[in-house]
Chain A
């Protein structure tokens, strides 16, 4: 038999690619190879969606996020509401009550003041709905061509509930995996707008603050191990992160994962897999098996959790791996993508 020696892999350590922002393996690599070695500290290295820090005996959740969505306005929301909900959700996933936000605007020369006013009003409305106050901010303007209209960064702090220690590293074999509703709405909404696809039924972004859904969950269970909102990279990436950080396997049931028909249709058309499409108003909770039914029932009383259900469970088998039982009873591995999901050719 011939000995096969493949040529050295094409290294790509020299420049940043769009895929480095995809939430997939390339993003993780950037974190692991550039940021963490330089910035490492015990809080950062927990790699949660929010840092939990203790100040004078008070535990605070602290998080930041930047928003570069295009188009700026889309069915179901805009960059303003998205920037508030995104940070509120990162706080809420740590079991914190979101309190205060900052907002920093990077504006491109020539951007319409009317649009800026509209975005700001949308932020105010979202903040009111989430019960947070935007208490500080910053504005910078870059030359025409150096930005894309407007980029927004929001940073938030919240108060962590007493005795609560949620972590993506906390999943244990036997735990239930609960999903709050249908996946892929936000990503497909943005993509179809960007591609100018005319669909029979408009797909709205699911952008929403999840703090009240989190309240509902935590009010009925002390067995919640972890919560995550599956944003960029979609449900598949979030489950892979939990599996890796907890050193466990995750087994999900394809038929238990809701996907709206319009999203399924658009995914078929575009050659995409909804498991990897972004959400902005959904959460995944890892919950002790004995509490799972009560948590699902509590979630269903909240309008954002109406379609909540158990989609799978944590296994000892296949640590670090996510597998899915298909509708045919066969098994498929749900891997993490390298970069962005690229449309298939045919």
Chain B
């Protein structure tokens, strides 16, 4: 298949692995931020190809996993109300809130629908003018432009029965938090290619300068991930620290200006809680006051719902690379994809779920 097969070519993959082995002389700790990249690493068993000196830690880049407990509870509260059609990306449905999950709201008669795009939710709102249609708009900078566009279009159309429960998080503040931690072990980052396709990579250049840490913007196929690792190893071995772009077929330095404009029209930067990590300043988006009529938290008055995360879960340490999923005594025993305790076991992109599904059987 064109545009895919060339990035999964076994010969290219092996050549990149050889290049990494030939270059490396000492241990390095690298983090891929994005859950999609974690998934690729696990699905293709890429760690087996790497020399033992490379330690990969899997970062907080699964938007499903980092959506805070209280936002899930708000979603459940809204979706349970009579007359509401609640529209969500598929894997949000299984994420446990403090007491229930959306799948059980559906089993109890709630009108929940899976969509691939917020535009589907807009269409549902047009088709059902007497029902309140709420889209669960979550994600990193990747989904934000489409979600912003849905809100923007709803206002322009006067689609009064549409609103969005928004929980958007931003990647650079999370990297800053990890790098700023005294316990930090990560020496190089693979930045998320799709986020950078939207935002460009100047924010990462700032991080590189501030913390003297190499960052490579990487894609999502096996060849992309290995090439990004090779570029990081090369920088680390030669003592350089710059931001480089591996994912040149999708990412430019400036990013997608039209998408950025639409996002800043609808959203403003706000402090945000991350499930498993906690409060990170200026790390999310909220819907601007001009669009308050389309903000489900304000429409349904759910913004005041506050829930504390269970202190026991070690996902905070896992997502910062300080622990591996297998270090948790619950991993694979009473925390499984079937009965997830922490959110990182819920989504297939979550690091615990990815480990569980694709853990190397030699481990």
Contact = CB atoms under 8 A, between A and B. Distances in A.
A18 interface: yes
Interface stretch (B231-239, B248-256, B268-276, B337-345): B337-345
Q: Could you tell me the dominant secondary structure of chain A's interface residues? A: loop
A185 B156 CA distance: 41
Interface stretch (A64-72, A107-115, A260-268): A260-268
Given A9-B334, A26-B338, A330 B361 contact: no
B358 A346 contact: no
B160 interface: no
Interface string B320-363: 00000000111000111111111000011100000011111110
Nearest to B348: A344
A330 B44 CA distance: 7
Of A10, A12, A338, A346, most buried by chain B (CB within 10 Å of CB) is: A346
A6 B344 CA distance: 13
Contact of B91 (A4, A7, A10, A345): A345
A344 B142 CA distance: 13
Interface in B106-160: 106-108, 114, 116, 138-140, 142-143
Interface string A26-62: 1001000000000000000000000000000000000
Interface stretch (B165-173, B201-209, B293-301, B308-316): B308-316
Given A4-B314, A344-B39, A345-B138, 19 more contacts: A6-B334, A6-B335, A6-B342, A9-B335, A10-B340, A11-B339, A12-B104, A29-B338, A268-B1, A328-B222, A330-B48, A331-B360, A331-B362, A342-B348, A343-B89, A343-B90, A345-B139, A345-B143, A346-B142
A7 B310 contact: yes
Interface of B: 1, 4, 8, 10, 13-14, 35-36, 39, 42-46, 48-49, 63-64, 89-94, 96, 101, 103-104, 106-108, 114, 116, 138-140, 142-143, 194, 222, 310, 312-314, 328-330, 334-342, 347-349, 356-362
Contact of A345 (B8, B14, B340, B349): B349
Contact of B107 (A15, A261, A344): A15
Nearest to B333: A6
A223 B331 CA distance: 40
A337 B357 CA distance: 9
Contacts of A329: 10, 14
A294 interface: no
Contacts of B360: 331, 333
A7 B143 contact: no
Of A29, A270, A337, A342, most buried by chain B (CB within 10 Å of CB) is: A342
Nearest to A26: B338
A328 B59 CA distance: 24
Contacts of A16: 107
A345 B64 contact: yes
23 contacts: A4-B330, A6-B312, A6-B334, A17-B103, A17-B104, A26-B338, A264-B4, A268-B1, A268-B4, A321-B361, A328-B10, A330-B49, A331-B360, A333-B358, A338-B336, A339-B94, A342-B93, A342-B114, A344-B91, A344-B347, A345-B90, A345-B92, A346-B63
B40 to A, nearest CB: 11
A255 to B, nearest CB: 9
Contacts of B338: 25-26, 29, 338-339
Contacts of B310: 6-7
B46 A344 contact: no
A178 to B, nearest CB: 23
A25 B116 CA distance: 25
A219 interface: no
Contact of A9 (B35, B89, B107, B339): B339
Top 8 closest pairs, chain A to chain B, by CB: A330-B45, A338-B338, A6-B330, A342-B90, A343-B90, A9-B339, A330-B48, A342-B91
Contacts of A339: 94, 338
B361 A323 contact: yes
Interface in A246-270: 261, 264-265, 268, 270
Contacts of A4: 312, 314, 328-330
A265 B49 contact: no
A301 interface: no
A332 B43 contact: yes
A112 to B, nearest CB: 22
Of A195, A264, A265, A335, most buried by chain B (CB within 10 Å of CB) is: A335
A125 interface: no
Contacts of A327: 8, 10
B63 A345 contact: yes
A264 B107 CA distance: 31
Nearest to B314: A4
Of B139, B143, B328, B330, most buried by chain A (CB within 10 Å of CB) is: B330
Contacts of B1: 261, 264-265, 268
A323 B329 CA distance: 24
Given A326-B45, A332-B358, A345-B349, A5 B63 contact: no
Contacts of A332: 42-45, 358
Given A6-B313, A17-B104, A328-B10, A342 B44 contact: no
Contacts of A174: none
A24 to B, nearest CB: 8
Contacts of A5: 312, 329
Given A4-B330, A345-B63, A333 B348 contact: no
Contacts of A195: 116
A346 B36 contact: yes
Nearest to A264: B1
A18 B89 contact: no
A181 B262 CA distance: 47
A318 interface: yes
Nearest to B92: A345
